[in-house]
Amino acid sequence: MSGKCPFMHGATTTQENSVTKWWPKSLNLDILHQHDSKTNPYGNDFNYKESVKSLDFKSLEKDMHDLMTEPQDWWPADWGHYGGLMIRMAWHAAGTYRIGDGRGGAGTGNLRFAPLNSWPDNGNLDKARRLLWPIKKKYGNNISWADLFILAGNVAYESMGLKMFGFSYGRADIWHPEKDIYWGSENEFLAPSEERYSNLEDPSTLEQPLGATHMGLIYVNPEGVNGKPDPLKTALHVRETFARMAMNDEETVALTAGGHTVGKAHGNGDDSVLGAEPEGANIEDQGFGWINPKGNGNGADTVTSGLEGAWTTYPTKWDNGYFDMLFNHDWELRKSPAGAWQWEPTSIDENKKPIDANNPDVRQNPIMTDADMAMKKDPIYREISLKFKEDQAYFSETFARAWFKLTHRDMGSKSRYIGPNAPSEDLIWQDPVPKGNSNYNVEELKTIISKSGLSISDRVCIAWDSARTFRGSDLRGGANGGRIRLAPQKDWKANEPTRLAETLSILEPIAHEFGVSVADTIVLAGNTAVEEAAKAAGYSIDLPFKTGRGDASQEMTDENSFNNLEPLADGYRNWINKDHSNNAEEMMLDKTQLLGLTGPEMTVLVGGMRVLDTNYGGSSDGVFTNQSGVLSNDFFVNLMDMNNKWNDAGNNKYEIIDRISGNVKWTATAVDLIFGSNSILRSYSEVYAQDDNKEKFVNDFVSAWTKVMNADMI
């Protein structure tokens, strides 16, 4: 305003004013340090997974059931039941999951924060969370928002008559947005789909690892591809987006039908007059979003998707009404009051119409989205839909199982499940692993491995390759299960199949003879190698080791699902698939974040892996030492040495040249040199290059190594 000082503080207080925006090529190392303890109001001593075990589960679930039918004036419930809204909230929390990188999903409560809380597809879910606040307030530390979101969906279905497959507690909240997740390159919500596809006619060309057709949607546009109705074309995009959420065709139909069996779409008004999304709303709107100036702004005036209407005759009842409605009527395109394309029946008996959500004296036409019509028009979906139509019990069970998968996919193995309703059945998508032997003489086994003839490099490489598959995003992969010996992992290019087979041919007989899992033996092999390398450097160290890993069978392994864990690069072993165009150091950063490592941990691991001679194919790039196999800080010492200069030799090759003689001393890749060129990574490298930090280097390497080896152990 005129007359006021234009500059009142010296801190960078808004997101758009990042101090690094002038250097757009700078690595975003912040993603390695998100969710730091400083952001967590509970402090380091609080363990949610222990706290939730003391929860009064029955009392909470009763209160949740009561909430469903206790309408609040400030946000009235459709038909007096909040079930549809709560189901949508749970679905949209979980539905962000994608198999490409395991990111998204319901496991962190990220729906509370931008951008998710302000996605167009999440319109008015801010109200759902506010409705849950009294319950969150009551049960406090013993229930996370993340668990509450999914529990609300489960209870909603139960209150409407569906027997659920199960529910597990244990999702710990985060306290700021997940900054590592790439949601797309668009600069606007709902930008044309072409920006996400190499060829819009071929849904498989959707940019990896994205799982939705537009920025700001969960899956597909309800009006059709780019808002143009065409059920057969939409079906192709539904199939691709649900596959990227780990769902097959039957699960896709079940989830589509089950999600639309209850509740309604809201488009009874002009969406152009809505206020800003929650993150962009004025402060007086209390973080609410999409304030509607029409009428009361809620109830009959609610605008969310722009489509308007329910899908079934009884939208608060779990039944087979969706399929009856879909197949027993002919449908035509019409516009909703908000101007959105939707399908409505050409004719329908009055008593088949759903009662108006706010006026029991009025009945309204049902609707279908373009995705719903795809369930009827696509030949594969149609066959499945008709099967469900004729067998409601089978449909209900299939949906309940698919819903459980949708809402628990990113929780890891069932050993992590908590609560009285956690199912005991082993499901292949949980990556089941039998319990391994924990009662054996570790030191004796270490001695046998050390005398096996395997080199330090062979042992470190197989242990690393086995453990590096772990993804903290969805708690999948890792060394437990010993799946590196099974398809598809045994054949991955990144695992050097021939070398892997030779190493396994030595370790597997040892494991079997000793009566322990191959998984334990592999990790222990890596540990013995690190211990020997540390001893060669003058340090006697016993690496921490957890026993009890089991060996999964091929039958326990969903090969298609595990394909998504295949490395396309591994900066730690200085390898990138030549067919991949991505920047190698950026891919290393991505993998580091998934492994749950910090910047210093990444730095010390790379430096140690280089001197242990673990490069892919025996490459000498980045091996800045004359004593390979010794756990020394030579990588950092020589990287920091100003007597050397770096020369770009092309094709991701660099030469380290003696400034005086001009001789090439070593070769390197960009991944090696980034630890000397990036100002932040150089600051870490300088620490490990110091004369007084040789022992610190060894200890820190051991700590980071152990973290990776145990990442999937509970």
Residues lower than pLDDT 50 in the chain: 1, 7
Q: Do residues 89 and 111 make contact, with C-beta atoms less than 8 angstroms apart?
A: yes
The conformation of residue 331, written as its DSSP 8-state character, comes to E
The sheet carrying 644-648 orders its strands as 644-648, 654-658, 664-668
CB atoms near residue 437 (< 10 Å) = 15
Number of residues in the chain: 714
Task: Give the burial string for 626-648 (b: 16+ CB within 10 Å, else e).
Answer: eebbbbbbbbbbbbbbeebeeee
Separation of alpha carbons 332 and 342, rounded Å: 8
Convert the pLDDT of each residue in 494-508 to its tens digit.
999 999 999 999 999
* 561, burial (CB in 10 Å: exposed 0-12, middle 13-18, buried 19+): middle
**CA 684/CA 671 separation, integer angstroms:** 15
Contact 493, 567 (CB under 8 A): no
Give the SS3 label for residue 363.
strand
Element of type H or E holding 356: none
Q: Exposure of 105 by Cβ count < 10 A (0-12 exposed, 13-18 middle, 19+ buried)? A: buried
Residue 445's SS3 state is helix
What is the C-alpha to C-alpha distance for residues 56 and 604, in angstroms, rounded to an integer? Answer: 45
Q: Where are the beta strands (DSSP E) in 585-663?
A: 644-648, 654-658
Which amino acids are annotated catalytic? 92
pTM of the model: 0.96
Residue carrying structure tokens 């191959």: 518
Rounded Cα distance, 388 and 322, in Å: 10
**Distance of alpha carbon 321 from alpha carbon 120, whole angstroms:** 28
Q: State how far the Cα of 20 lies from the Cα of 641, in Å rounded to an integer.
A: 27
Torsion angle (degrees, nearest 10) of CA 580, 582, 583, 589? -110
Q: Per the structure block, which two tokens stand in for 112?
A: 């509370």
Look up tokens 């060129």; give the residue: 677
| Helix, strand, coil share of the chain (percent; to 5) | 45, 5, 45
> Which of helix, strand or coil describes residue 119?
coil
Q: How far apart are CA 548 and CA 563, in angstroms?
A: 26
* Neighbour count for residue 141 (Cβ, 10 Å): 12
Q: Residue 13 has what pLDDT?
A: 53
DSSP conformation class of 645: E
CA-angle at 453, arms to 451 and 459, nearest 5°: 95
The answer to whether the CB of 92 falls within 8 A of the CB of 84 is no
Q: Give CA–CA dist 405/251, Å, rounded.
A: 9
Strands 575-576 and 644-648: unpaired
Q: How far apart are CA 164 and CA 259, in angstroms?
A: 14
Q: How far is CA 150 from the centre of its chain?
A: 16
Q: Which two tokens stand for residue 522?
A: 């592999």
Tracing tokens 């990556």 back to the chain, one arrives at 431
**Contact call for residues 247 and 256 (beta carbons, < 8 A):** no
Q: How many CB atoms lie within 10 A of CB 347?
A: 7
State phi, psi for 349 to the nearest 5 degrees: -65, 145
pLDDT given for residue 26 in this prediction: 83
C-alpha torsion 524→529→530→533, nearest 10: 160
pLDDT at residue number 1: 45
Q: How far is CA 40 from the centre of its chain?
A: 20
pLDDT at 3 (0 to 100) = 55
What local confidence, expressed as pLDDT, does residue 18 receive?
A: 72
Q: Collapse the DSSP code of 129 into the 3-class scheme (helix H, G, I; strand E, B; otherwise coil) and give the result.
A: helix
Q: Provide the 10 A C-beta neighbour count for residue 56.
A: 12
